[in-house]
């Protein structure tokens, strides 16, 4: 998998890449109006691009545990103006973090070159929308749904169950007319998983990579790291996040989704240099 066509922009996967997170939620950007929101998002996106992000993941719906769902119109209003602005101003690949068919279509129309769907195209109309958008899609594993997923995650063998789910979704996508070459896969760290499940998935990441689709990993600032650090709050999780991203790349991740782009880009370069030595 040397490179992926992301709506005309090429994503080089001959070495691991960093995806920067851009959350567009009312608490982050929107109070202050559309102009302020665009400026604030552009400033943050430009900083991530200059720090070495290959992709910027734009999301308008919080998928944190306990978060409430957002309407289609609310999500479109948050995300589309930002994608238009970033597409016009930066040469970076934009990914849209959404599970809604209508948001996928409008976002790709506005310049997004990738779809990042934590529901793995299981929501109504999403398979058809993704096929018609004709951009790469990340299929993520989640047990349950965001509101309740951390209540009591249960697995027999978490790695086998995640593998089985992803194989099934890859198959469903292919039957729906989405080429395997357009798919990325993601074990969904923290999405209906306890600490032990997350650690097991990390250790056995090579088994996911063996499915043949590029693996995307999101561990940045997540509560699994907080737990490992004795309950450290989110502001204190930078170093653990960089360590986890480095490990993920070492174990086969093609893309890491992170908040702290600069620090992660440096760390990933070290891992990539060692990896490519025979």
Q: Which residues bind ligand 8Y4 (CB under 6 A)?
A: 59, 63-64, 97, 116, 118, 138, 140, 186, 188-189, 216, 218, 221-223, 234, 257
**143 within 8 A of 193, measured Cβ to Cβ:** yes
Closest by CA position to 99, among listed 61, 148, 54: 61
Whether 222 sits among the annotated catalytic residues: the reply is yes
DSSP β-ladder status, 255-258 and 114-117: unpaired
Q: How far is the CB of 97 from ligand 8Y4 (least distance, A)?
A: 4
Comparing every residue's Cβ against ligand 8Y4, the nearest one is 218
Q: Compute the distance between CA of residue 55 and CA of residue 201 in angstroms, rounded to an integer.
A: 24
Q: Compute the distance between CA of residue 267 and CA of residue 139 in angstroms, rounded to an integer.
A: 25
CA atoms within 13 A on the CB side of 88: 11
Q: Which is nearer to ligand 8Y4, 88 or 196 (CB)?
A: 196
Q: Which is nearer to ligand 8Y4, 55 or 110 (CB)?
A: 55
- Bridge partners (DSSP) of residue 217 are 256
Q: How far is the CB of 64 from ligand 8Y4 (least distance, A)?
A: 5
DSSP letter, residue 215? B
Catalytic residue, candidates 100, 169, 182, 222: 222
Q: Which is nearer to ligand 8Y4, 67 or 88 (CB)?
A: 67
Whether 203 sits among the annotated catalytic residues: the reply is no
Q: Which is nearer to ligand 8Y4, 30 or 223 (CB)?
A: 223
Catalytic residues: 222, 257
């Amino acid at each position: 998998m040397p490179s992926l066509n992301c709506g005309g922009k090429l994503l080089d996967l001959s070495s691991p890449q960093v995806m920067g997170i851009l959350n567009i939620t009312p608490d982050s950007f929107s109070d202050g109006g559309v102009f302020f929101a665009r400026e604030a998002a552009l400033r943050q996106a430009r900083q991530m691009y200059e720090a070495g992000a290959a992709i910027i993941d734009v999301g308008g719906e919080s998928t944190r545990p306990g978060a409430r769902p957002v309407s289609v119109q609310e999500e479109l209003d948050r995300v589309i103006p930002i994608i238009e602005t970033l597409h016009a101003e930066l040469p970076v690949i934009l990914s849209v973090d959404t599970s809604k068919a209508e948001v996928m279509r409008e976002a790709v129309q506005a310049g997004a070159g990738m779809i990042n769907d934590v529901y793995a195209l299981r929501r109504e109309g999403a398979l058809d929308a993704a096929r018609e958008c004709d951009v790469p899609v990340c299929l993520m594993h989640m047990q349950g749904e965001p509101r309740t997923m951390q209540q009591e995650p249960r697995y027999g063998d978490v790695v086998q169950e995640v593998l089985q789910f992803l194989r099934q979704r890859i198959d469903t996508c292919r039957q729906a007319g989405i080429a395997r070459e357009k798919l990325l896969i993601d074990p969904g760290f923290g999405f209906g998983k306890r600490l032990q499940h997350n650690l097991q998935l990390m250790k056995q990441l090579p088994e996911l990579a063996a499915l043949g689709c590029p693996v995307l990993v999101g561990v940045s600032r997540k509560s699994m790291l907080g737990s490992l650090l004795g309950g450290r709050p989110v502001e204190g999780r930078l170093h653990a996040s960089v360590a986890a991203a480095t490990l993920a790349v070492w174990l086969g991740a093609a893309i890491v989704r992170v908040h702290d782009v600069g620090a992660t880009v440096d760390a990933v370069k070290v891992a990539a240099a060692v990896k490519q030595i025979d």
